[in-house]
Amino acid sequence: MESEKTPAVMPLPAFKYSNRVILKTILERDDAGVALIGERAVIGGWVKSSKEFRKEPTVTAPVDDRADDASTKDVTCVEILQSRIPFIRSIIKAFAGSNYPVREKLEPVGPKPPRPSISILQVSDGSCAASLQVLVDSSIAPPNKVLPTGTCIVVHGELKQSSLRGKRVIELKVEKVLHIGTIDHDKYPLSKKRIPLNMLRDCSHFRPRTTTVASVMRIRSALNFATQTFFQNHEFLCVQVPIITITDCEGFSEKFQVTTLLEKAEKTEEPNAIENIEGVNLEVIKDAAREKSNIVEELKRSESNREALAAAVDDLRKTNELAALLEARENSKSKTSSIKTNEVKLSEDFFSRQTYLTVSGRLHLESYACALGNVYSFGPRFRANKAESSQQVAEMWTVEMEMAFSELKDAMSCADDFFKFLCKWVLENCSEDIKFVLKRMDNTSINRLQSVISASTSERISYTETLDILKKVTDKKFETKLEWGTALTTEYLSYLVDEMYKRPVIIYNHPKEVKPFYARLNDDGQTVASFDMVVPKVGTLISGSQNEERFNVLSARIKELGLAGEQYEWYLDLRRHGTVKHSGFSFGFDLAVLFATGLTDVRDVIPFPRSYGKANN
């Protein structure tokens, strides 16, 4: 029937939860979008860069709007000359006097209309590294609204072959603007081009709009998905471990304590305290009070006018009040900072005992491995380390796994396979972002990833063998001297993987003094069944161990290190009841993003980094 219409075919599928087309589906096609020319779509995104192209003005004959009958009167040549050349008009007026009408030049009424133009925008919606060229005519949207970098737009238009020379294959000619999210250009932090990464850290809520950080976050997301895929494919179960714990999971780590007692102490401060006086120095205020007191005394002696004396007395009173308030606040802070664990009533705290933010979830994972077999967890871990480091911040995401019925060699093999899987996943699923990484960040990243994939296994050497190898090095001087029983420093590890092997190396059987208490003691009584995977450019990426399953040995290690035994009673229960050999590792997820992207500071690959003195939002 004629009333029936064939349903429209949508070659460009819109995002399921909105009517816009994701730019990745246009820009990452094999034909670069050529087959889509002529199609219409709604796209949304943020302006990355822009320029304005002025149209040539159209020449039209001037119209005298003041003359109602202008269309019915003849215009002579002299009148035309008068209207075009002011000098001729002046001569005619001087000689003819008032007997000859002179047509005056008409001035435009109101502001001069802007010249028509086209705004050429490079728009990105964050789905891919490339941006789409969008053309907006000034008759559709004012250039000053859409040109500024950072402006958000949602537009409907037609995909056309690019009208400008360059790398762009297609562009979108806008037919209708659906939304404009304007910016304050003077305050928007990304208005300037090529802002250094260290400066971007101060505006972490805006930095994903930069191409660099956006590419890093897409790679990070891919690594996240690859992590889940690997463990799910290998029959591991995901277990969420607690972030708040009573257990020091390593025995010697710097922890964040969780408490509500300080909050109660702060509420005892003066209720009418003046706000925003932290930057005022108490000694400076006291000096000012002394000077003002002298001024009051001089005014009293000199019998000056009462108004001046009253003003000085009032000023002195306010200064003394401020000094008293500052002194009270400093005393309050001193009392608060002096609160110690043995001086407070833990029974009044939220958990009624000491609790911390976890530094590792491996101990808790063990309890589930001893019931479910193979388990893993993925989440934030916290260390209260004030030392400045490019590879360590207060909050970092960590992948941890535990396997029952396994030994050290099994954990090392799993770590090898896992890391190789991640490198391959990034190359296969982040090709466009890796190309951007090669161009803008690190031109060796692909070679580094491919070297991991191509190797059958990582080089495996014991701690003792590593020392022997490094002691034979003669072409480099190290700052610290190698001694058996100490942890290998960054300079030694870097030389080992960056200069000597140039690929990942697994170092195993470390001295017991440099590894956590739960690592299984070897038969020599000096080393433990532990390992570190060290990779180029990053250093130690994975640390693992076979854990001590023998009750007597583990209990002796806890006492030997002077650890609080009551914290580990639940952990010892796993050895009392149904003990089994088991092993696992911790994987620095943020450091893996560093390895893949070639960046040098972990704060640039974490969405909202928290480091000593820095927690901006």
Report residue 579 as tokens: 């003990």
Give residue 222's pLDDT band: very low, low, confident or very high (50, 70, 90).
very high
Q: Are 488 and 531 a contacting pair, CB within 8 Å?
A: no
Query: In the chain, pLDDT over 70 holds for what percent of residues?
Result: 81
At which residue do the structure tokens 């919606």 appear?
Answer: 125
363 C-beta neighbours (distance < 10 Å), count = 23
Sign of CA dihedral 325, 327, 330, 336: negative
Give residue 353's pLDDT band: very low, low, confident or very high (50, 70, 90).
confident
Strands in 395-404's sheet, in edge-to-edge order, are 237-238, 374-382, 395-404, 582-588, 539-547, 527-535, 505-511, 459-462
The reported pLDDT for the residue numbered 280 is 61
Would you say residue 236 has pLDDT above 70?
yes
Report the helix count and the strand count for the chain, using DSSP H and E.
18, 16
Can you tell me the distance from the alpha carbon of 496 to that of 482, in angstroms, rounded to the nearest whole number?
A: 14
Q: Say which range, 131-145, 205-219, 322-336, 483-497, has the weakest mean pLDDT.
A: 322-336
Q: Are 198 and 611 a contacting pair, CB within 8 Å?
A: no
* pLDDT, greater one: 512 or 75: 512
For residues 202-228, average pLDDT: 94
SS3 annotation, 572-602: HHHHHCCCCCEEEEEEEHHHHHHHHHCCCCH
CATH topology for the 24-56+115-181 domain: OB fold (Dihydrolipoamide Acetyltransferase, E2P) (2.40.50)
Can you tell me the distance from the alpha carbon of 293 to that of 272, in angstroms, rounded to the nearest whole number?
A: 25
pTM over 0.85: no
The CATH 2.40.50.140 domain(s) of the chain lie at 24-56+115-181
Beta carbons within 8 Å of 263's beta carbon, 6+ residues apart: none
H or E, element range at 295: helix 282-301
The CATH 3.30.930.10 domain(s) of the chain lie at 211-257+353-604
The reported pLDDT for the residue numbered 79 is 52
Give residue 273's pLDDT band: very low, low, confident or very high (50, 70, 90).
very low
Model confidence pLDDT, tens digit, residues 563-600: 888 889 999 999 999 999 999 999 999 999 999 999 99
The reported pLDDT for the residue numbered 60 is 52
DSSP for 394-429, written as a single string: SEEEEEEEEEET--HHHHHHHHHHHHHHHHHHHHHH
For residues 291-316, average pLDDT: 68
The reported pLDDT for the residue numbered 201 is 86
Q: Say which range, 291-295, 447-451, 607-611, has the weakest mean pLDDT.
A: 291-295
Model confidence pLDDT, tens digit, residues 251-271: 777 889 998 887 665 555 444
Residue type at 397 in one-letter notation: W
Query: Does domain 211-257+353-604 match CATH 3.30.930.10?
Result: yes
For residues 227-236, average pLDDT: 98
First to last CA, the chain: 62
The reported pLDDT for the residue numbered 67 is 43
Q: How far is CA 536 from CA 217, 395, 563, in A?
A: 21, 23, 35
Model confidence pLDDT, tens digit, residues 366-401: 999 999 999 999 999 999 988 878 889 999 999 999
Q: Are 110 and 11 a contacting pair, CB within 8 Å?
A: no
Give residue 84's pLDDT band: very low, low, confident or very high (50, 70, 90).
low
Identify the bridge partners of residue 381 per DSSP, sorted by sequence position: 396
Q: Say which range, 1-15, 22-36, 289-303, 414-428, has the weakest mean pLDDT.
A: 1-15
For residues 410-419, average pLDDT: 97
Q: How far is CA 452 from CA 422, 455, 457, 507, in A?
A: 10, 6, 8, 16
The reported pLDDT for the residue numbered 307 is 64
Q: Are 248 and 355 a contacting pair, CB within 8 Å?
A: no
Average pLDDT, the chain: 84
H or E, element range at 471: helix 463-471
